[in-house]
Amino acid sequence: MQIASVASAFPEFYYKQEVLTEALKHDWRHRLPNPDILDRLDESMQVEGRYLVNPIEFYLNLQTWGEANDSWIAHALELGEKALCKALHGAGIGAKDLGAIFVTSVTGIAAPSLDARLSNRMGMSPNIKRIPIFGLGCVAGAAGISRAADYVKAYPDQAAALLSVELCSLTLQREDISMAHLISALLFGDGAAATVVVGDKRKSDGPEILATKSILYPHTEKVMGWDISEKGFKIVLSPEVPATVIKHLGKDVDAFLGEQGHKRSDIKTWIMHTGGPKVLESTATALGITADDLAASWACLRKVGNISSTSVLLVLEDVFTNRRPEKGSLSILAAMGPGFCCELVLLRW
């Protein structure tokens, strides 16, 4: 099983972080006890800018969840098609030749799902297996690669695509001035990424997927996720996230590698979900590595913020394209998300 390609797509609107912060301060100035708190939070985010699917004015006039979700469907299809077309081209595979497609998003809903609508738009086989994924949040980029690997392991002559589309800007709750939402409004952005995974009977120069592991931590449902109401998605983001990473990630990686006959020092490249500054710092602490070892993740965070499940695929794209490890070396690709849970993927280049 190999990752044959990975590609991204972004909206047309890119704003510097200071522009977005000022817009939020202006909108919330009469509701926040101290609007300057946004400046202090912004400084701690270490984000330089973010993509949005709509101009700022759209969000200031947004009234209902229905309006937000209609925008999500339209833009998710557009960006999803772009990312998927680029990934298929990179893998040398036509849309009609895909055996399965996994689509993950946690920022909107649609039935028929995005995969069905994209199948019609892109001319996929009417027999393609469609697996829409909702609810995994940030972990879904890594989990989607794992599930695509499961598929091509069963069908080694086939190819499966994973598409992640996250339009986090459309979950903005203008009435919510909780600390969790202030952080979310300054951290998350919009984008899409896709990857193609092929079975052993197909050849690629991408990394081989040696093993995967899913880990669910019992009774941690309130660490991260959404509360869903008539107003849409309200962020659940506990201060416990960094501590949870430190508590679990290192020992889980060691156990996973031990099962494969490896140890942590064998890993040459770490392809980690961007999270946020505290999450990346906690990741380095948990794994006993440095900020330089997470350079691709830090670069992604600075440039586009956290794009939920899409982010780990953006880090993978950067490594795949610009930081490719030497042949035969090992990498860990990982993400954590609602559940609370972790997904680990062992790669060999």
Chain centre to alpha carbon of residue 33: 33
Locus of tokens 């044959």: 4
Q: Among candidates 347, 274, 242, which has minimal Cα distance to 48? A: 274
Predicted local distance difference test score (pLDDT) of residue 301: 97
CB 306 within 8 A of CB 299: no
How does 225-241 read in b/e, with b if 16+ C-beta sit within 10 Å? bbeeeeebbbbbbeeeb
Q: Among candidates 311, 332, 316, 139, which has minimal Cα distance to 250? A: 332
CB 155 within 8 A of CB 118: no
Torsion of CA 82, 83, 85, 87, to 10 degrees: 160
The model carries a pTM of 0.94
Predicted local distance difference test score (pLDDT) of residue 177: 86
Pick the CATH number of 2-198 from 3.40.47.10, 3.20.10.10, 1.10.10.10, 1.10.760.10: 3.40.47.10
CB 170 within 8 A of CB 118: no
Bridge partners of 271? 333
Locus of tokens 């120069």: 205
CB 77 within 8 A of CB 105: no
Q: What is the third-level CATH fold of 208-348?
A: Peroxisomal Thiolase; Chain A, domain 1 (3.40.47)
Residue 152, classed as helix, strand or coil, is: helix
Bridge partners of 247? none
Predicted local distance difference test score (pLDDT) of residue 236: 85
Tell me which H or E stretch contains 130: strand 129-133
In the chain, which segments carry CATH 3.40.47.10? 2-198, 208-348
User: How does pLDDT run along the chain (349 residues), one tens digit per residue?
Assistant: 999 999 999 999 999 999 999 999 888 888 888 878 888 888 888 999 999 999 999 998 888 999 999 999 999 999 999 999 999 999 999 999 999 999 999 999 999 999 999 998 999 999 999 999 999 999 999 999 999 999 999 999 999 999 999 999 999 998 888 888 999 999 999 999 999 999 999 988 899 999 999 999 988 888 888 888 888 888 888 888 888 999 999 999 999 999 999 999 999 999 999 999 999 999 999 999 999 999 999 999 999 999 999 999 999 999 999 999 999 999 999 999 998 999 999 999 9
- Whole-angstrom Cα distance, residue 160 to residue 171? 29
Tokens describing residue 110: 């649609």
Tokens describing residue 185: 């409004």
CB 149 within 8 A of CB 1: yes
* Residues annotated catalytic, as ranges: 138
Locus of tokens 């070396």: 329
Q: Which residues contact 218 (CB under 8 A, 6 or more apart)?
A: none
Predicted local distance difference test score (pLDDT) of residue 8: 98
